[in-house]
Structure 1
Amino acid sequence: MPALSQGDNRARQVSFKYRPLFRLTNRHDNDECCTVPYTRINIRVPYIMSEPSDEQAAMQHYLVCGTEECQKNGEFYCNNCHRVLCEQCRDEHLKSPKTKSHEIVLYQHRKQQLPVEKCELHPTRTIDMFCRECNIPLCSKCSTMKEHHTHTFDDLEDIYSEKYAAWQGEFSKIQKHFLPTSLGLKTDTEEDASQIKKIMESIRTSMEAEAESLKNLVDEVTSENIKHTHTMEKSLLEMLKSQETTYEDYMTYLENMSDEFQKYLSITNQKLLFSKTLKIQSIPETTKPVPPVFTAGRFNKNDIIKLLGRVNVPNKEPEKRKIQPMKAVTTYMKSTEKQLKQSKEKSDVKQTLSLSSSVTKVREYSVPGVYSAHHVSVDKSDRLWVTDYRGNLVQTDLQGKQLQKIQTSGGTEGYHTATQDGDLMYIDKDKKVIYRITPDQKITEFIKTGDWTPLSIHSSRINGDILVGMYKDKEAKVTRYSKAGKKIQNIQRDNQGQELYSEPLYIIENINGDICTSDFNKYAVVVVNKSGQHRFFYKSQGSGFRPWGICTDVLGHILVCDTIRETVDLLDQDGRFLSVILSPQQGIKEPRGVCVDEENNLYVGQYDTNTVTVYKYLQ
């Protein structure tokens, strides 16, 4: 934001509190910190906060040099005098013995002038310094007080200018990128909603037409079947009628034979009885008809669904809306620029990554000094840290060479974690202490957990917080510590007061801040949000589930080892099962520890072997 001269009529009065920048405190004789009431400061700032449009620029006058009687265009700015200078005045300014050491920069690179504020303890002095140790602004006389002896001081104007530039940069981002980009995305969603309505109406029309077609086919088949029964009935009845005629003819024959026999029996002459032999024909044989049997169709609702079809959402990753990359914004906050760049790079990687159609084995490491790979961590130098059930903690390089080995009291838990700073933290259950190992192999005591026995630990990739799973008697909880080791949160029960955890063996934080815990005795993965509110339990797809190692990736997937099925399952961040990443069919046996490195490689440790296998499952 430009700092203009008093005569500039384009400035307006803006009132704001000084609270967002600093906590104003002073030390008294009792050495207790007392907060000074924050004062309201009026400063003159340009009316136009963001860069003007072409039309606005055409209506504005150029910057005038601040030197008396000089009306030339001011292109430069003296950060010491806080004055606009033209090129000629700049040269004279640098030649003058009094001002030759002043810092003169292009106007757009100027420092912001610090608002004037009087010291509460020394009303005649202006607050213009900042104490690093006390983290407070003060005046030059305050800096000579005994409580600030040996302290280091910064120019408050430099700090103010840096923060001002950073805030202006953020404001510019909102105006130039975030607002117009969000407006475009909102328009896209409205167009998508209209398109969805058209698609769904078309689907309903197709479904009705499909159902009508099936009804017509059912009527046609039923009609043909009924016609066929009439034909079958006619044929069977004709056969039976023929048999009826056969028996009627035979009965007529029998009546004739009966008369014949009766005639001969009435003759008195015996010789006639012996003169002729009468023989009765056999009864004609016929067959009984085989009645037709109706075989009912075997179908259910699912069969009808298959015939008619159903509406499904395709099983694929939704296409992310394209967000135009933000143009670089000049700022004095170099660390902020670096953080923004890293965040953008991660975002770009995330937008291009998706699940691969197959899992590819990349390489294997044999880790000397461990009996099995129960837990695996990869530090910033891509070096492996592996622990086994005997408490051996071993670090190796990428060639499998042992770099250091530490004996701990740990067992089958996830009791170590690599930090953002390149350190490693590990748990000593017996001493109930968390230790820190620096890259130069210096080991220091970091956190004491008191009466609670720590089991698992994870260093957040979001803010560096430390998450620790622990138990005491029949209770268990997850505690959050700051990077400095200060306890800031306990997570133990849900909203109904029910215990969330039983034995939190492994713990990880997802990209959305969810805390995911592999709880062996709960037979579940327990997930809570960053505020500690319970979100869901995951208890596998089959019968029996014993979760072990757990990790997350850049897409928010949750990967967990199942010791019953000997698989590595892949879930989305809401606990929905997606697929089995690794199984015995792929050569994996009893997976125990998993982690994902910065290159999105999946490291898997297995029981009863010191081999760590690396897989690629994202593309």
Structure 2
Amino acid sequence: MEIHMALSKPIAPESLHDAPDIGQHYVECATENCNKNCQYYCNPCHRPMCEQCREEHFKNQATKNHEVVQYRQRTYQLPVEKCKDHPTKDIDMLCDECQVLLCSKCATANHRGHILTDLEAFYSERCKRCLEEIYKIHKYFLPTTQNLQKEIKEDATEIKIVLKDMRKIMKTEAETLKSLVDEMLSKNLEEADKVEESLIELLQSQDKTYSGYTSYLNDFIKELHGYLSPNDSLKLIIIAAKNLETQPIPDTSKPVLPIFTAGQYSKEVVSKLLGNIQISNTNPENRKIKPKEAVSIHLKPTVKQTKPSAEKQKLILSSSVTKIREFRVPAVGSACHLSMGKSGRLWVSDLWANLAEIDIEGNLLQKIRISFLGDNNGYHTVTRGGDLVYKDSNKKCIRRVTTDNKVIEFLKLGSWKPLSIYASLINGDILVGMKKNGKAKITRYRETGKEIQNILRETEGQELYRNPHYITENINGDICTSDIGKRAVVVVNKPGQRMFSYTGQNTEFHPYGICTDVLGHILVCDYDKWALFNSVHLLHQDGQFLCYVLTKEQGVQNPTSVCVDDENNLYVGHRDTNIVTVYKYLQ
């Protein structure tokens, strides 16, 4: 059995997610009477734990929804600092507008309405920033600088060889015309020595420059380590971000080698006979420094700064649902799936391989004709950066359409056929539902395309999915899936453990489009081609049925897609028409 221990050492790993903590130590499980090696970390509890204790943690009703991550991906705990004005309260917030540290009483008393940042998240982000910078130094700056110094030594060797060859030519010429060349030979040799001395002095100067830069990098590493110390934690918070950036590598130029021109044998032109050393007028060529972008560094998402959630807490379900407007989507025959983009833009797909992007007024912005026949699955999504991502069932891959309209193959799925896809707004991860040989799973990828998780079975070995054709993610990180094969909404937590399955309120439940809102509600379409139970269900995030938001009595026919915009408006798309209807259901 392979045992993963929280062992740290200053090496340069393949990616930051794989990077160990700096400072060599072993961490034991924090559970009482358990001395096993730590593999995981509960962020809400700030507790390291082994694999067995993690399983017990999830079984506990009080902690089953806690976020438990790999130890190296943990949230760093904020050192306790008491508020001077309220000694019983801990400092746990940063007022972005006033740039002061606060406790909860300070925030409500003097900073109401200001933008506040969770200090623990901010501190953890700065700790990770230091680790990222250390990682870049080990992975990029130090090796690149060492390579440049190696190149300087090679240049010095080449200069010596070239000048040695030139001397041989000079001496050969001089032997033939010994009586004529003694004086000129002496002069040329002296000139060659001066050129060599000048070039070597230049290279020695460059070498000293990079030696000094290497010393600076080592000192900067120590400085960054110092900021990670709990004793200096506040320095890390208040220090300017630019002071955490490594200074660029100094530029140097390669030496321009001299050229020797052989002379002609003639008494009158003795200087030409022996030749002379020439310094080229060519501008020095800068040494090639490997671009920093070539280093693969997976960064954690930045701390999101939001105003206090008083406005969110005021939102409740409205006693009645109000239709705000409806519009037809040009260039598509139906609205089988909706993906909300930036600035109110919306991507809509139909059954006939058409994808259309519209603006907030319903005007067509662009149209894409995909290479496979459209279907009734949630086969496209929009990333945090605004890129459209969609499946290609024929090629068994995922394609990305960048903001400058370039289509690239983003993920290859091998023999698995993609069904559905969703881009997380929490961390940017890509969730893909897929099938192969009667089996189904959901795979999580980083924004870079690195596969990091497969969700296939429950802990008891039972298969979680049969046909996961629509996916979304809730505000607590739960993955919510409409599985038409199981005729259920299957919800698992972030580690992939099943939380619940919702099978509807009638004997026939056909889950289609699914989304979540700012309160953690789950909204799912119940589409029946016989129009018996067409409706939109509203669930609590724990799986409890709350109400029918929309039913066929309210004019809803064949709903297959839903999404919620930034104004908490509900968009509903239909299988048999290109009309999208917008409702207000929260107040």
Question: TM-score scaled to structure 2, two decimals?
Answer: 0.54
Q: 2:573 aligns with which of 596, 602, 605?
A: 605
Q: What secondary structure, in the 3-state scheme, does the structure 2 residue paired with 1:512 have?
A: coil
Distance 1:49 1:377, change over 3 A: closer
**Aligned ranges 1:392-411 → 2 under 5 Å:** 392-408=354-370, 409=372, 410-411=374-375
Q: What secondary structure, in the 3-state scheme, does the structure 2 residue paired with 1:521 have?
A: coil
Q: What secondary structure, in the 3-state scheme, does the structure 1 residue paired with 2:420 have?
A: strand
Distance 1:331 1:461, change over 3 A: farther
> How far is the alpha carbon of 1:138 from its aligned partner?
7.2
Partners in 1 of 2:312 and 2:576 — Cα distance? Answer: 35
**Aligned ranges 1:398-477 → 2 under 5 Å:** 398-408=360-370, 409=372, 410-477=374-441
Partners in 1 of 2:221 and 2:314 — Cα distance? Answer: 39
> How far is the alpha carbon of 1:38 from its aligned partner?
5.5
> How far is the alpha carbon of 1:485 from its aligned partner?
0.7
Is the counterpart of residue 522 in structure 1 residue 490 in structure 2?
no
Q: 1:562 aligns with which of 526, 529, 540?
A: 526
Q: Which amino acid aligns with 1:363?
A: R
Q: What secondary structure, in the 3-state scheme, does the structure 2 residue paired with 1:610 have?
A: strand
Distance 1:387 1:137, change over 3 A: same
Q: Deviations over 1:545-596 (max 9, x none)?
A: 1011000111111000011311100000111100111112222111110011
Partner in structure 2 of residue 390 of structure 1: 352
Q: What secondary structure, in the 3-state scheme, does the structure 2 residue paired with 1:495 have?
A: coil
Q: Deviations over 1:73-119 (max 9, x none)?
A: xxxxxxxxxxxxxxxxxxxxxxxxxxxxxxxxxxxxxxx9xxxxxxx
Distance 1:50 1:576, change over 3 A: closer
Partners in 1 of 2:345 and 2:356 — Cα distance? Answer: 10
Distance 1:376 1:156, change over 3 A: farther
Q: Which amino acid aligns with 2:502?
A: Y
Partners in 1 of 2:552 and 2:86 — Cα distance? Answer: 69
Q: Deviations over 1:242-286 (max 9, x none)?
A: xxxxxxxxxxxxxxxxxxxxxxxxxxxxxxxxxxxxxxxxxxxxx
Alignment coverage as a number of residue pairs: 361
Partner in structure 2 of residue 358 of structure 1: 320
Q: 1:595 aligns with which of 563, 566, 570?
A: 563
Q: Which amino acid aligns with 1:446?
A: F
**Aligned ranges 1:162-201 → 2 under 5 Å:** none
**Aligned ranges 1:525-544 → 2 under 5 Å:** 525-544=489-508
Partners in 2 of 1:34 and 1:462 — Cα distance? Answer: 22
**Aligned ranges 1:260-299 → 2 under 5 Å:** none
Q: 1:504 aligns with which of 455, 468, 471?
A: 468
Partners in 1 of 2:310 and 2:457 — Cα distance? Answer: 37
Partner in structure 1 of residue 172 of structure 2: none
> How far is the alpha carbon of 1:438 from its aligned partner?
1.2
Q: Could you tell me whether the CA contact under 8 Å between 1:416 and 1:458 is conserved in 2? A: yes
Q: Deviations over 1:164-207 (max 9, x none)?
A: 6688799669xxxxxxxxxxxxxxxxxxxxxxxxxxxxxxxxxx
> How far is the alpha carbon of 1:524 from its aligned partner?
0.7
Q: What secondary structure, in the 3-state scheme, does the structure 1 residue paired with 2:547 have?
A: strand
Partners in 2 of 1:430 and 1:510 — Cα distance? Answer: 30
Partner in structure 2 of residue 288 of structure 1: none
Partners in 2 of 1:135 and 1:160 — Cα distance? Answer: 17
Partners in 2 of 1:170 and 1:611 — Cα distance? Answer: 59
> How far is the alpha carbon of 1:340 from its aligned partner?
4.3
Distance 1:37 1:369, change over 3 A: closer
Distance 1:578 1:51, change over 3 A: closer
Structure 2 residue ranges without an equivalent (≥5): 1-6, 26-78, 88-125, 127-132, 155-209, 245-298
Is the counterpart of residue 377 in structure 1 residue 344 in structure 2?
no
Q: What secondary structure, in the 3-state scheme, does the structure 2 residue paired with 1:381 have?
A: helix
Q: Deviations over 1:445-466 (max 9, x none)?
A: 1001110000000011111111
Q: Could you tell me whether the CA contact under 8 Å between 1:169 and 1:330 is conserved in 2? A: no
Q: Could you tell me whether the CA contact under 8 Å between 2:137 and 2:217 is conserved in 1? A: no
Q: Deviations over 1:485-539 (max 9, x none)?
A: 1111111111221111111110111111111110112111111111111121101
**Aligned ranges 1:237-386 → 2 under 5 Å:** 330-333=238-241, 339-340=302-303, 342=305, 344-345=306-307, 347-386=309-348
**Aligned ranges 1:4-43 → 2 under 5 Å:** 23-25=10-12
Partners in 2 of 1:435 and 1:480 — Cα distance? Answer: 16
> How far is the alpha carbon of 1:432 from its aligned partner?
0.6
**Aligned ranges 1:30-109 → 2 under 5 Å:** 50=81
Q: What secondary structure, in the 3-state scheme, does the structure 2 residue paired with 1:499 have?
A: coil
Q: 2:149 aligns with which of 130, 144, 153?
A: 144
> How far is the alpha carbon of 1:162 from its aligned partner?
7.2
Partners in 1 of 2:230 and 2:534 — Cα distance? Answer: 54
Partner in structure 2 of residue 296 of structure 1: none
Q: Could you tell me whether the CA contact under 8 Å between 1:432 and 1:453 is conserved in 2? A: yes
Partner in structure 1 of residue 546 of structure 2: 578
> How far is the alpha carbon of 1:366 from its aligned partner?
1.6
Q: What secondary structure, in the 3-state scheme, does the structure 1 residue paired with 2:312 have?
A: helix
Q: What secondary structure, in the 3-state scheme, does the structure 2 residue paired with 1:560 have?
A: strand
Q: What secondary structure, in the 3-state scheme, does the structure 2 residue paired with 1:411 have?
A: coil
Q: Which amino acid aligns with 1:598?
A: D
Distance 1:456 1:36, change over 3 A: closer
Partner in structure 2 of residue 547 of structure 1: 511
Q: What secondary structure, in the 3-state scheme, does the structure 1 residue paired with 2:325 have?
A: strand
Partner in structure 1 of residue 270 of structure 2: none
> How far is the alpha carbon of 1:362 from its aligned partner?
2.1
> How far is the alpha carbon of 1:387 from its aligned partner?
0.6
Partners in 1 of 2:24 and 2:543 — Cα distance? Answer: 50
Partners in 2 of 1:569 and 1:612 — Cα distance? Answer: 18
Partner in structure 1 of residue 166 of structure 2: none
Q: Could you tell me whether the CA contact under 8 Å between 1:50 and 1:172 is conserved in 2? A: no
Q: 2:446 aligns with which of 447, 469, 482?
A: 482
Partner in structure 2 of residue 319 of structure 1: none
Q: Could you tell me whether the CA contact under 8 Å between 1:166 and 1:332 is conserved in 2? A: no
Which stretch of the first structure deviates more once superposed, 377-386 or 349-358?
349-358
Larger Rg over CA atoms? 1
Q: Deviations over 1:44-94 (max 9, x none)?
A: xxxx995895999xxxxxxxxxxxxxxxxxxxxxxxxxxxxxxxxxxxxxx
RMSD, matched Cα = 4.3
Distance 1:555 1:130, change over 3 A: closer
> How far is the alpha carbon of 1:333 from its aligned partner?
4.4
Distance 1:161 1:587, change over 3 A: farther
Report which structure shows greater RCO (CA 8 Å, sep ≥6): 2
Question: TM-score scaled to structure 1, two decimals?
Answer: 0.51
